[in-house]
Amino acid sequence: MPHAHQHHEPEGADLAQAAQATLERAGEQWTAMRASVFGALAGFDKPASAYDIAEAVSKTEGRRVAANSVYRILDLFVGANLVRKVESANAYVANAHPGCLHDCIFLVCDVCGQTTHLDDDRLTGGVRDAASAAGFVPVRPVIEVRGRCAACNGG
């Protein structure tokens, strides 16, 4: 089980380098298309769908990129911990610390769509323990809390 610790959250080129290093440690190549998909996703300020990402990459590349190609890359990225999937929105966010393994806790604003990712290993460990006690083997717990962010709640 992961432990609590402080994160350095890289941005921009540093985040892309961290993602590339993580993917390569997993035995995968960091291709130009994978770099484009990651860069496009990291450029969104809210979770983005594969279609949003395909459109952004198509504009950057100057050629049409199919959403199916983006989905395959996103699946690889989720498996390598570069990207997190917001299940209820079928959308994705770049993992701000791809070298660290934590279960997902998302706070999803129903008004503006802003999504905040939290790490709380104590809480997610409890979810894993409860699943295990029920005879279930948890692989990738995702907890989503829907509501209103501070800005949309008037605060």
Domain spans of the chain, in order of start: 12-94, 104-147
Q: What percent of the chain has pLDDT over 70?
A: 89
**What tokens does 39 get?**
């860069």
Residue corresponding to tokens 């993602």: 19
Q: Is 152 annotated as a binding residue?
A: yes
Structure confidence at residue 2 as a pLDDT band (50, 70, 90): very low
Tell me the pLDDT tens digit for each residue of 107-129. 999 999 888 888 888 888 899 89
Domain 12-94: state its class: mainly alpha
Residue 100 clears pLDDT 70, i.e. is over it: no
Residue 1 clears pLDDT 60, i.e. is over it: no
SS3 content of the chain, % helix, strand, coil (to 5): 45, 15, 40
Q: Is 112 annotated as a binding residue?
A: yes
Higher model confidence: residue 119 or residue 40?
A: 40
Structure confidence at residue 6 as a pLDDT band (50, 70, 90): very low
Strands (E), 1-155: 83-86, 91-94, 104-109, 115-118, 142-147
Average pLDDT of the chain to the nearest whole number = 87
Q: Among the CATH numbers 3.40.630.30, 3.30.1490.190, 3.30.70.360, 1.10.3720.10, which is that of 104-147?
A: 3.30.1490.190
Q: Is 109 annotated as a binding residue?
A: yes
User: What was the pLDDT predicted at 5?
Assistant: 44
